[in-house]
Structure 1
Amino acid sequence: MTQAYRDYQAALDAGDADALLEAAARAYEAGDEADIDRATLATLAENYGFAASLHEDFETSKTAWRISARLSDRADADPVERAWRWHNASLAALSNQDRIDAYSCSRNAIDALEEIGADLGEASEFAGDAFLTRAALLMGRGRIDEAGEAALRSVAEFERTLQEPHSSYGLAHFYSGIARTLDHEFEDASYSLHMAIDVVSDTAPDHPDRRTIWAALVSAQGNLYDDDEAVQEAAFARLDERLAANRFHSDLYSDGAADQRYAESEDEAEAEAEDACCDAVPVRRNPPDYPMGAAYADLDGVVYLTFAVTEEGRADAIEVTGAFPPGVFEEAAIEAVERWTYEPATRDGEPVRREGVETRFDFRMQR
């Protein structure tokens, strides 16, 4: 075991991934066979999981990190150590396309973090990512409220530890914004989603969720408009104050880039409406049915769609621009919009096609 560990250190220093994995496997297997103490064996299993991840052998990595975390639990190790190992087990499971195991490991990581208390100490180095991973997995299971809580914890930890924002910080704001939208807390949602689009657009402009973030921001911020101009101005003033108070936003995004993008989007929509002269007017817009499977599973969700209104007043070219959890509520949302009818838009008294109509469906169980 001693020689295998020395070989592991030599391979690590040399950057030899193949030799690292082979030595880590030998060291762990020798320690397991020798029935060494759990704490030491957990460390060897952690090394094995780390080496397997570098080698992109995620099945082995998931198993090794899980063993390391379980041994840490049984040895009653420090909660920081246990949280770290369960978090890495969750990441390895995700890389191995095993979301069920990732969900379980992530829950254990958060439980360990909760044991530490408000001051996470050394765990602050990875707590933001751990809470974000938990939020993403909860969103995927339709546990939107819980996802929002985890996302807020992630935001707080990132703001405490980051020197500058990265895409993970933006995604934490994104999940928080989705949860707040379902709660109809549109000012909070607009703030979170405004931060999300700015950070993700800056740090990961090709991120696959960028379009969904944008649709979510437009939807949430649209609810701040009010017939009472004073109420509307007060809402946007509060939003501006919150953005200015965020050090990342004030330092990096004070040029109003997102405001400009939003204004351009609004201008395009207004231009389309003006071009149509008289915009399409809803006649019948019944809500979607709650999918039976989702109701039985007690799932919440949200779906964002865009569509056109034809000259005959029917919805056409319906497209899902974002949905949480994916693959659950989209069909019901599309079927609902397919049944909607409108008085068509007109130009010079003649019906015309209206592009770019957007809508959002909130699916929320009554509890």
Structure 2
Amino acid sequence: MTYRHWVAGLAFLIATTATARAQDEPLPQAVADAYLAYEAALADADADAALIAARAAHAAAEDERIDPSLTAVLAENHGYLANVAGHFEEARDAWRQSGRLSNRNNLPAAERAWRWHNAASNALLADDNSDAWACSGEAIDAIEDLDGDLEAVSNFARDAYFLRARLAATRGRTMTAGALARRLLELPADVDVEPGLVFALAHYFAGLEQLMREDVGDAAYHFHVGRDAAARIDADPIVTNRLSALAVYSREQLGRLDRRGEQHDDREAELLAARLADDPVHVRWYLAADEIDEEVPEGYVPAAPIERNPPPYPARAARDGYEGVVIVSFNIDETGRVRDGAIVDALPPGIFDEAALGALSDWRFEPATQDSVPVSETGRMIHFSFRFAD
């Protein structure tokens, strides 16, 4: 059975169920005729004719103002077949109308969530990010109305949360993207399914959010697990390399925390290792301690900051409500000046990069020394968080 036939068959089953629910209310002739044509087209596996008939049945139902729950299902059928035909704007409009009818008539939350999620997905396929954002918000609201009883939406809840998180990230709502990603990761896991790209990117969003909150330990956990998931599925090297760089950076930051004070213990690193070892997806901790915590050569003193002002909040970002984070790599020369600043990662991309690099270029360090002689230091990294006060 082809995907098109599967979708058409599913649409037929849904419409048949709805018709049975409304059997005490005779259908107006225009709706009945269009629906019979729709059934005949499905029986003939004629997807084009089925779409024409589904479109007509939906329009007739709207004109005749029949039972709203049945109209919502006919709109849903219309949306299914328009999507299969590649008419994404038409599919979005049909699914959105189905969602509106569901809201207006207080239909079950699972039905509302499903319809709004499909409206959002088709809006995204139609390159209408603004409408996708609005529709995905309706889908998430409906899922949250289930108060944790997610069995009825288990087949699409992850996709709904991830779609919303992706859209939040593109709109400069990085903290929101991370919170949505964490909700996704809290959903019951299917132990028979290997974590995929959605899982990896959810950890990416969650890690950046925790980095913005200065919770380096939690950020390191998310980046390590996300990097492992990306490596398992042989994801796009850009994704894997980005998560790898963030895992390295967060692990280095933990090392710096462990070296503060007089104890110089490995408490933070040990906490991370224990958490990763207990993770249900059995991640591999690629970064052994000796890969990151290199022995400092005898007589070597690393560079120490003496002047570092935070970057200004870009006016456009403040006006548009953007929040985000930028991770920058840089070197420090023998005079303590910053050299070779480069963006390692930024979300949203291109919004805060210039402010971060500009501020970093003005920083001054007491240069590193080897046996009291100033030397350059390479491969330093730092992150800049741009967020509004809570």
TM-score grouping bracket, smaller chain normalisation: 0.7 to 0.9
Which digits, 9 at most, give the CA deviation of each residue in 1:64-92, with x for residues without a partner? Answer: 21111111112221100101111111122
Distance between the aligned counterparts of 2:379 and 2:231, measured in 1? Answer: 22
Aligned to 2:129: 99
Structure 2 partner of 1:2: 35
In the TM superposition, what whole-angstrom CA distance separates every residue of 1:139-159 from its partner, at most 9, and x where no partner exists?
A: 333334433332221001152
Kept in 1: contact 2:92–2:119 (CA 8 A): yes
CA distance in 1, matches of 2:236, 2:213: 29
SS of alignment partner, residue 159 of structure 1: coil
TM-score (normalizing by structure 2): 0.77
Percent of paired sites with the same residue: 38
Secondary structure of the residue that 1:259 maps to in structure 2?
A: coil
Where 1:77 maps in the other structure, the secondary structure is coil
Deviations 1:231-261 (A, max 9, x none): 742222222222222221x2xx34x4x326x
**3-state SS, counterpart of residue 342 of structure 2:** strand
Q: Deviations over 1:192-215 (max 9, x none)?
A: 111111112222521644333233
Corresponding residue of 1:339: 362
Question: Partner of 2:220 in structure 1?
Answer: 190
SS at match of 2:325: strand
* Aligned match of 1:36: 66
Greater share of helix: 1
Deviations 1:48-71 (A, max 9, x none): 222232333322222121111111
Q: Which residue of 2 aligns with 1:234?
A: 267
Alpha-carbon offset, residue 161 of structure 1 = 7.2
Letter in 1 for 2:271: R
Amino acid at match of 2:344: T
Q: Supply the RMSD in Å over aligned alpha carbons.
A: 3.3
| Alignment pair present for 1:290 and 2:328 | no
- Answer yes or no: is 1:243 the counterpart of 2:297: no
Q: Deviations over 1:24-54 (max 9, x none)?
A: 3333234334433221221222222222323
1:281 deviation in Å? Answer: 6.0
Cα distance, 1:231–1:45 mapped onto 2, change above 3 Å: farther
1:46 & 1:38 partners in 2: Cα distance? 12
Q: Secondary structure at the match of 1:236?
A: helix
Query: CA separation in 2, counterparts of 1:171 and 1:315?
Result: 32
Cα shift at 1:309: 4.9
Question: Where does residue 101 of structure 2 map in the other structure?
Answer: 71
Contact 1:176 1:192 in 2 (8 A): yes
Which amino acid in 2 is paired with 1:60?
Answer: E
1:147 aligned partner: 177
Q: Distance in 1 between matches of 2:344 and 2:222?
A: 19
Question: Which residue identity does 1:93 align to in structure 2?
Answer: A
Q: Mind listing any 5+ residue stretches in structure 2 that lack a counterpart?
A: 1-33
Instruction: Return the offset for 1:349.
Output: 11
How many pairs align?
352
Task: Determine which of 259, 266, 280 is the counterpart of 2:287.
Answer: 259
Which deviates more from structure 2 when the two are superposed, residues 329-338 or residues 31-40?
31-40
Q: Which residue of 2 aligns with 1:115?
A: 145
Equivalent position amino acid for 1:234 in 2 = R
Q: Do the aligned partners of residues 72 and 195 (structure 1) sit closer, same or farther apart at CA in structure 2, a change above 3 Å counting?
A: same
In the superposition, relative to structure 1, how do residues 21 and 187 fare at CA in structure 2: closer, same or farther (>3 Å)? same
Deviation at 1:162, TM superposition (A): 6.1
Match for 1:303 among 323, 326, 331? 326
Say if 1:65 and 1:86, in contact at 8 Å, map to a contact too: yes
Number of the residue aligned with 1:328: 351
Q: What is the Cα deviation at residue 116 of structure 1?
A: 1.1
The normalised TM-score by structure 1 is 0.82
Deviation at 1:355, TM superposition (A): 5.3
Matched, 1:201 2:231: yes
Bigger radius of gyration among the two: 2
Go from structure 1 to structure 2 and tell me whether the alpha carbon gap of 1:232 and 1:125 turns closer, same or farther (over 3 Å shift). Answer: farther
Match of 1:174 among 197, 204, 217: 204
Counterpart amino acid of residue 196 in structure 2: H
In the alignment, the residues of structure 1 paired with residue 56 and residue 191 of structure 2 have an alpha-carbon distance, to the nearest angstrom, of 37
Q: Contact conserved, 1:158 with 1:169, CA < 8 A, in 2?
A: no
Q: CA deviation at 1:345?
A: 7.3
User: Equivalents in 1 of 2:274, 2:320: separation in Å?
Assistant: 40
Render the CA deviation track for 1:327-359: whole Å, top value 9, x for unaligned: 321221122233345577799999987654422
User: Does the CA-based 8 Å contact 2:35-2:53 persist in structure 1?
Assistant: no
**Alignment match of 2:157 (pick from 119, 127, 134):** 127
How far apart are the structure 1 equivalents of 2:274 and 2:358? 40
TM-fit CA distance, 1:10 = 3.7
Determine which of 217, 220, 223 is the counterpart of 2:250.
Answer: 220
